[in-house]
Amino acid sequence: MESFMMSNGIALRVNDQGEGCVIVLLHGYLEILEIWEPFAILLAKHYRIISLDLPGHGLSGWNGGIHTMEFMADTIKGVLDKLQIKECLMVGRSMGGYVTLAFAKKYNDMLKGICLFHSTPNPDTEEKKINRDREIELIREDKLGLIAAQAIPNIFASGNLKKYKETIEEIKVNVEFADKDGIIACLQGMKEREDMNDFLLHYSKPILLVLGKNDNLIGWDVAESLIDKFKNAEVLVLENSGHVGFIEEQEAAEKGLLAFATKVFSEK
């Protein structure tokens, strides 16, 4: 069931489906909650699935300033409180993973575990910060469509571009209707986010890292360094995926996440 609710001073579009233990799905930059479909529908056969348009994206509002990862975590906390959800497994993809880590740092008592789906605890490099500033200027020049045309195909493995051509076009269209001020607020928040490596290294609850072997945004050298460093995490490597493995290898992603969820929710 889809609805709108106020949290942390802004209106959010929220989808709530399925029953039982709760999994929260947080999308990435330039996306909306539909990016998870039909993956969310498959998960909803087993669990209660909450997805939403993150602040500044889709039909959700923005706060008029910078969307720090902590602000977005606070906003999600408000949604979960209104839905009377006391605990959940949080799954964050890319930017959603940054928000998941911020949520875990502030509201860990509400989490059974976390999944970083094509995401890392690393802060922006200086080069990445410069690129974000350039992107902000392009958006201010009303060139969000140009950004979408370049960025969206890049989240798929090069070998999957032809197969998912229609999906790529659908995602591009959604981006072009985004509120540019909300998107800029999120870019600024990502640029300023803190290094969460030490936090994740000492995180005591279950962690699942989902990595794509052909991810253009998280190179395999970076992925391997994460695997080597975070021995406290379970790892799922999707051999034929880029940055959207729940689309590119839906069956393998579903199987891996459900296995992790079963373990997480069975723990006392």
Host domain of residue 11: 2-266
Q: How many structural domains does the chain have?
A: 1
In the numeric block, which tokens belong to residue 243? Answer: 């940055």
A 10 A CB-CB count for 239 gives 11
* Helix residue ranges, H only, the chain: 39-43, 69-82, 95-106, 126-140, 144-154, 165-176, 180-192, 197-201, 220-229, 245-248, 250-266
- Give the CA diameter of the chain: 52
How far apart are alpha carbons 106 and 1 in whole angstroms?
28
How far apart are alpha carbons 238 and 223 in whole angstroms?
11
- Tens-digit pLDDT string for the chain (268 aa): 899 999 999 999 999 999 999 999 999 999 999 999 999 999 999 999 999 999 999 999 999 999 999 999 999 999 999 999 999 999 999 999 999 999 999 999 999 999 999 999 999 999 999 999 999 999 999 999 899 999 999 999 999 999 999 999 999 998 877 899 999 999 999 999 999 999 999 999 999 999 999 999 999 999 999 999 999 999 999 999 999 999 999 999 999 999 999 999 998 7
One-character DSSP codes across 159-227: GGTTTTHHHHHHHHHHHHTS-HHHHHHHHHHHHHPPP-HHHHHT--S-EEEEEETT-SSS-HHHHHHHH
Angle at 49 between CA 107 and CA 46, to 5 degrees: 120
CATH number reported for the structural domain that contains residue 170 in this entry:
3.40.50.1820
